[in-house]
Amino acid sequence: MLTRRETLLVLAACMACAAWPDITTAAAGKSSALTTPWESWKRSFVQDGRVIDPGQQGISTSEGQGYGMLLATAMRDRAGFDAMWTWTRNNLDVRGDGLYAWRWTPGQGVTDRNNASDSDLLIAWALVRAAQRFAQPDLLDAARHTTQAIRSQLLLDTPWGTVLKPAVEGFATPQGQVVNLSYWVFPALPTLAAIDPSPHWQALTDSGLKLLSIARYGRWQLPPDWLLLVDPLVPDPGRPQRFGFEAVRIPLYLYWAKLGSPTRYASFKSFWNSFPCRDFLPAWTNLQDDSIDSFGADPGMRAISTLVQTGKAPQQASPPLAQQTYYSATLWMLVQIAASEGST
């Protein structure tokens, strides 16, 4: 339990490191402009605090809860945040170690007790932001508990630095550790360092940037969705060797954390700019043979491309969020927030 003095120091540290910017006229205007899509997102994907993925038999995941809580803090929606946090705490906090069960299925409850490390980062980050935004310092205890659990159970020292395991179980193979570079939620890490002072958090940022500079494959020199930590590094042979639905979040997080640069963005831009037809952008490319999908990227992925290439978020969701998948609509909303918070 944090003392009152510790709570004030933590909140001051968060503000000092710009982990959560103060409310400004511009930020308030951005939030107001997003009120309609935010309400549409909630109507489409949230029920009694449970974030639902209709395309996956209505399951809920710790990822969805983390994203929802994060969006609610950005939208200054305390009631929405409280409902999502209450559902998360009551239904996914079943492991007893500060981490959250990954999947919950209607009629069955938790159907996968393993955690997802990016989800845990998102939840801890959202809790700290809510503590400041809604003046609820008690949330810092839960955030700190999860942050310390991530550090103690999910960080691994390797020749490439301190890396993030995707989960407590399931990603250590006889060949080596498998990681997912899109699980490095770069903008969250300074916030977590503020409530859990440790050199591990900067080391994690450093390792993510280092791996991104090395793990480049195929015609466009893109990072894979899943990476096997062997020497030399290779896309995980046990999964589709693609840049796609997972790794597309990498440039979003780089932008949000103000870690983007022409060099770090170059491969993503090269890929996206290879398809000048405004009506088509591939969702993925195979990093072995450079083949691409034929169905095209969803609006959320397109929004990331727009953000990275122009520094601006799309003004309107097309099609409307209610007609998109949970993942696409969520990415679109995240891009809106990142455009405001990650701009320089």
Instruction: Please give the backbone phi and psi of residue 46, each rounded to the nearest 5 degrees, phi first.
Output: -130, 135
Amino acid type, 86: T
Q: Mind giving me the DSSP string for 249-264?
A: HHHHHHHHTT---HHH
What residues contact residue 117 under an 8 Å CB cut-off, 6+ apart?
Answer: 150, 154, 164, 165, 166, 167, 183
Indicate which residue of 53, 77, 93, 118 is catalytic. 118
Do the Cβ atoms of 313 and 303 come closer than 8 Å? yes
For residues 296 and 317, what is the distance between their CA atoms, to the nearest angstrom?
Answer: 16
Indicate which residue of 63, 120, 298, 341 is catalytic. 63
63 flagged as catalytic = yes
Amino acid type, 102: W
Do the Cβ atoms of 94 and 109 come closer than 8 Å? no
Do the Cβ atoms of 342 and 257 come closer than 8 Å? yes
Amino acid type, 6: E
Amino acid type, 339: A
Q: Which residue has the tokens 């939620």?
A: 185
118 flagged as catalytic = yes
For residues 170 and 153, what is the distance between their CA atoms, to the nearest angstrom?
Answer: 13
Residues labelled as active-site residues: 63, 118
